[in-house]
Structure 1
C-alpha cells in the first residue's frame, strides 16, 4: 500500500534562535535565522523521512516568506496551499536555557491571515491524514476560523485528524481558560492527539496520566501520545496503555523535538489503512521510531535543520534510558 499524504495546517514562521549563553534574555545579542512553525516543522519531518507531505498556511509576501517556501521545497513538502499575504512573515525569538529548554517572544504577522481555501481540502486530498498544530491557530485571525472549518470537513469526509495543542504560555497569559475551551472543542474532532505531560495536566485538570487520557478519549480521540521528555512516551489507546522508554541524548536544542516526534509518528501512521486497524504492538513500534527521530533532533540546533533521514535513524545505535 502506498503511504497516505499528510496535510499539515497552521503556522510557518522564522525562528531567531539565540546563540548567546546567559540567564537574562534582555542581554542577549546574537540570533540565528532558522525556518520554523510547529506544523511546518512536522511537514518537513515527514518529507525528510521520505513521506508525502503538504503544508497549508500563510506567509508574508517578503524575503522571509520566500525563504520558508523554498526551504519546505527542499524537504520535499508540497507548497501549493501556501497563501502569500500583505502582513509580514511571523517571527519567533527563541532563547535557549542551559538545560536546552526554550523561552519564546512572538512577533505575529502573516500566519493569522490564512483563509479557508475555496476548494474543500478534504476533497482535494482524499484519504489523506490532516495534522493541526495549534501554537498560534487559536489566536485571533482568519486562521482560527479556517482551522476549525477544515477539521469539521475532514471529520465529515472520514479523513484522519491529528491534533497537537502546542501550548505556549507566552501567547496565552491570563487567557488559559479560553485556550482550554478551544482545545476541548478540537479534541472532539480529532482521532489522534499528541500532548506533552504538562499539557495533559493543564488541559484536563487531571494529575494522573490515566485520568487525563481518559478525559480526552471521552471527547473523541482514539489514540493519545503523551510525550514526557527523558521519561519517554505514554501511549494510550481505548484498550491499552504503556510507557515507552526514551533514549539517551546530549540535548543541545529541544526546539522542534515534539514536532519531530509527531512528524515521525504520522510518517509511520500513513503506511497503515487506519489507526483503528493498527495493533497496539504496531503503535508501540511507531512510538519507538518517533522517539529516535525526536532524540536525534535534540542533538542539533534548529527544528528543521536537525531533521534526520530514515536511514540515518535506522543505522544509528540508541541506548534506552533506564
Structure 2
C-alpha cells in the first residue's frame, strides 16, 4: 500500500452549530480540529490507509490538541513542525441546512519550513496538496513549491485541491488563479468544487472547464457538485457520478472526505497509472468516494464525522 502525504494547514475550527450562517450573530463556539489537508490525512487513515501530515502548529495547547487528534486517528505526525507563532484558528457558523460562514485568524501554518530530507519518502507514493492557505506567502508557500518539485523527481502521484476561500483572497482572485496553475499543470489528479472550476478556468460550461484543465496538464479531473454527485473526466471519458441522498447538518469536510477516500483507494492498487486506461474502475472509486463525502455531512465537525471503512460498507 502506498503512503499518502498531505501537505498544508491544520487548524482549530471554533464552530457555532445551529446558529445560522451569519457569523456576526453566533454566540457559542465548540473547539474542533480542522484544516483541509489534515482532514484528508485523517480520511485516508480512518479507512485503513497509510497517511502522513506535513504542516506546522504552534507550540501551544491548541497545537498539542491538533497533533493528538491526528495521531489518535492513525496519521503519521513525525514530519509535522512546531512554531512559537500561535496555532491558526478559524471561526465557523453553521445554519440548519449545513451552509457555512467563516473567517480565519492565520498563525503557525504559514511557518512550515522546507525539509530536503523528506524527498526520498515521496518515492512512488502519493502526495496531496491542499491549498487553502498554502499560496498566501511565507515559508509555507516556498516549501509547497519545493515539495512539488521533489514529488516530480520521485515518480510520485500528485493530487491537488485548490481549496479556494473567498475570505482569504478578497480582491486577489487573479493572484490565486496564477499561483494555482503550476500545481494544476503538474498534478495527475485535481479535485475542484464547481465554483473553483469556473473561477480558475474562466469557463461557465463544465465540459469546457475540464478541457481547459486537461490542456494544462491534469489527467484526472473531479468536480464535486454537492448533492448531485461528482463530474469526472479522464482520457476522453466523462460523466456525472451520482451521490447518495442524505440530510446534511454540516458540509465542512465533505470534499476532504471525498478526495481522501479516493486517494486511499488509489493507494491500494498496484499501478495507479492503470486507472487512466480503465475509466470504469475510476468511476466505481468515485461512487464510493461520493458516499464518504455524503456521510461526513451528517454530523458536526469534519474529522469526527469522517467515515470508517465499516460505516462506508454499511
Which category of TM-score, normalised to the shorter sequence, fits these structures? over 0.9
Structure 1 runs of 4+ with >4 Å offset: none
Partner of 1:283: 282
| TM-score scaled by length of structure 1 | 0.95
User: What secondary structure, in the 3-state scheme, does the structure 2 residue paired with 1:248 have?
Assistant: coil
Displacement after TM superposition at 1:16 (Å) = 0.6
User: What secondary structure, in the 3-state scheme, does the structure 1 residue paired with 2:305 have?
Assistant: coil
CA distance in 1, matches of 2:23, 2:38: 26
User: What secondary structure, in the 3-state scheme, does the structure 2 residue paired with 1:304 have?
Assistant: helix
Partner of 1:318: none
CA distance in 2, matches of 1:307, 1:163: 20
Displacement after TM superposition at 1:312 (Å) = 1.2
Kindly indicate whether the alpha-carbon contact (under 8 Å) linking 1:20 and 1:28 is maintained by their aligned counterparts in 2. Answer: no
Partner of 2:13: 15
CA RMSD of aligned residues (A): 1.1
CA distance in 1, matches of 2:273, 2:122: 20
CA distance in 1, matches of 2:200, 2:97: 25
Partner of 1:248: 245
Residue 225 (structure 2) pairs with residue 207 (structure 1): no
Partner of 2:131: 134
Residue 157 (structure 2) pairs with residue 160 (structure 1): yes
Q: 1:194 aligns with which of 188, 191, 195?
A: 191
User: What secondary structure, in the 3-state scheme, does the structure 1 residue paired with 2:304 have?
Assistant: coil
CA distance in 1, matches of 2:171, 2:235: 34
* Contiguous gaps of at least 5 residues in structure 2: none
Displacement after TM superposition at 1:172 (Å) = 0.2
CA distance in 2, matches of 1:183, 1:80: 27
Size of the alignment, in residue pairs? 312
CA distance in 1, matches of 2:137, 2:172: 12
Partner of 1:258: 255
Query: Can you list the C-alpha shifts for 1:218-245, whole angstroms capped at 9, x where unaligned?
Result: 1111101110001110010022101111
CA distance in 1, matches of 2:98, 2:20: 12
Query: Can you list the C-alpha shifts for 1:277-318, whole angstroms capped at 9, x where unaligned?
Result: 011111011101111111110000000001111111102xxx
Partner of 1:143: 140
| TM-score scaled by length of structure 2 | 0.97
